[in-house]
Amino acid sequence: MDTLLDILSWLLLTTGGIFVFAGGLGALRMPDLYTRMHAASVTDSIGPILIITGIMLQSGLALASVKLVAILLFLLLAGPTASNALASAALLSGYKPGGPASSTQDAEK
C-alpha cells in the first residue's frame, strides 16, 4: 500500500513539475501578452493541483494536509482572479491581442 502511494505521489509530483516547467517556458517564449498569460495560468492551476495533491499523499491524515488543502484553495482562488484582473486591465488600457500597443510600453510611460 505504501509503495503504491509512493508511486502515485511520485507520478503526481513529476507531472506537476512538467506542467509547471512547460508553463514557464510558454510564458517566456509566447509571442504576445495574452498568449503568455495563457501559458502562465497553467502554472497557477494544474501545477498546484498536481503538486499539492502529490505532497498530501505523502503527509497522510494530519494537520499538514489541512494546511495544504487551504493553500491549494487560496491559490486556486487568487491565481485565476489575478489573471482575469490583469487581462482586463491590459484590455481596457488598449493593449490589443496580437501585438503590443505602443502606449503600454515601459519606455513611453
Partner 1 sequence: MYHAVTIALLVTMALALLRALLGPSVYDRVLAVNMIGTKTVLLLAVLSFLFGRPDFLDLALAYALINFIGVLAVLEFFRVRAEQDKSDSNVENR
Partner 2 sequence: MTIVFGVFLLTLMLITAIAIVRTQNLFVAVMLSGIFSLLLASNFFLLDAADVALTEAAVGAGISTVLYLSALALSAENERAPYSSHRLIALAVVSVTALLVIYATFDQPRVGDPAAPVHQHVAPWYLEMTRDAIDIPNVVTAVLSSFRGYDTLGEVFVVFTAGIGVLFLLDKPGARHGGTQTVGRVRLRHYLIPRLVGRMLIPFILLFGLYVQFHGEYGPGGGFQAGALIAASIILYALLEGETRALQALPRRLLTLLIASGALLYGGVGVAGMLLGGNFLDYSVLASDPVKGQQLGIILIEAGVGITVTGVLLSVFHAFAARGRF
Q: Give contact residues for partner 1 (rule: CB under 8 A).
A: 6, 9-10, 13-14, 16-18, 20-21, 23-25, 27-28, 33, 36-37, 40, 43-44, 47-48, 51-52, 54-55, 58-59, 62-64, 67-68, 70-71, 74-75, 78-79, 81-83, 85-86, 89-90, 93, 95, 100, 104-106, 109
Q: Which helix (H) or strand (E) holds 63?
A: helix 63-92
**Residue 84 sits in the site that holds partner 2 (CB under 8 A):** yes
Residues 53-72 close enough to bind partner 2 by CB under 8 A? none
Quick one: what does residue 68 bind among partner 1, partner 2, none, with the CB cut-off 5 to 8 Å set by partner type?
A: partner 1
Q: How many other CB atoms are found less than 10 A from the CB of residue 48?
A: 19
Give the nearest distance from C-beta 1 to partner 2 in angstroms: 29
Distance separating alpha carbons of residues 44 and 34, to the nearest angstrom: 15
Grid cell digits, residue 14? 513529476
Residue 84: name its binding partner from partner 2, partner 1, none (Cβ under 5 to 8 Å by kind): partner 2
For residues 20 and 58, is the Cβ–Cβ distance under 8 A?
no
Angle at the Cα of 32 (from 26 to 19), degrees rounded to 5? 15
Number of residues that bind partner 2 (CB under 8 A): 13
Q: Are 65 and 45 in contact (CB under 8 A)?
A: no
